[in-house]
Amino acid sequence: MNPKQAGILFALAAMLTSAVLPVSSKFSLGYLNPLLFSSVTLLIAFAVSYAYLLMKGRHAEAMRAIPRALKLSALSYFAFSVLFFFAQKSLSAVDSTLLFQSEPFFALAFSAWLLSEKISLSRIAITTVMVGAIIFFIVNPFGGTLLNPAAVALLFASVASVQLGYVFSMKEIGGTDPLVLSCAAALPAGVALFILGMLVNPAEMLLPLPMLPYVVFHAIVGWLVAYVTYYGAIKRLGLSFSTALLIPAPALTVLLAGMFLGEAVTQRQLFGLAFIIGCLALLLLSGMRERK
């Protein structure tokens, strides 16, 4: 298998994991406290990645990386977990997936504001149109809001926290092995989330054994496989091609949510899905032209 073929397999695996995660987490959150779910998944992800690094004789790298990973851990792991999983308690898997596609808006805004990156007018225009579509998806002009406003605000805040974590940790992300960085960031966030859960509602911080397989699945697929495969794809194919292969993920999430959660898809959701995927494709093409 040549590097390009391997890269395509990595990208397809990353696309599948990103599509499965909203469905997996929505199912688990029907039975578990969000703080328990997020803390245990992160701690399991840390344990698995640390065990692998230990077998490779690289476990000390993860421990040394913890101080460098604290900003990423606080924003992209701890804050994201609290905000996203509490939001998803009141949103369907389809709704949360569509709203999460606001990520390019926050990425462009923070890149321009905090990193002083120059953003082309075409990318600004496409992102603005996409944000308008998401707002139209949320708000019914003839009958008020369609979705829980508090849950929507929490989900948008979770997307912003992820992007802030990336912005404030650009040096660490670029100069540290992805598995080492993920392992180092997962530990403090997982411990902090568990302590918070014990302080807020200790009675709900016991994991029922029947839910353990689902939590382990989410930990390994969500925090390890998704991270490693995406960076494996970028290494072999480059950012643009890898991102292009991720575009079908929201559509696959809709299909999986219908199959495994019994979520009925409305016409408005289908319209929003098609429009957002089209905008994501245009953003990708715009970015590819700028890099030529």
> CA 96, CA 237: separation in Å to the nearest integer?
29
> CA 212, CA 224: separation in Å to the nearest integer?
17
Q: What is the pLDDT of residue 143?
A: 55
> Average pLDDT in the 77-91 region?
93
> CA 197, CA 40: separation in Å to the nearest integer?
11
User: Under a CB-based contact definition with an 8 Å cutoff, are residues 134 and 291 in contact?
Assistant: no
Better-scored residue on pLDDT, 50 or 227:
50
Within 10 A of 190 (CB to CB), how many other CB atoms are there? 26
> CA 214, CA 204: separation in Å to the nearest integer?
17
Structure tokens at 78: 């701890």
Chain-centroid distance of CA 118 in Å reads 25
> CA 259, CA 149: separation in Å to the nearest integer?
27
User: Under a CB-based contact definition with an 8 Å cutoff, are residues 219 and 44 in contact?
Assistant: yes
Q: What is the pLDDT of residue 192?
A: 98
Residue position matching structure tokens 């692998």:
52
- pLDDT tens by residue, 47-80: 999 999 999 999 999 999 999 999 989 998 999 9
Domain that holds residue 272: 3-291
How many domains is the chain built from?
1
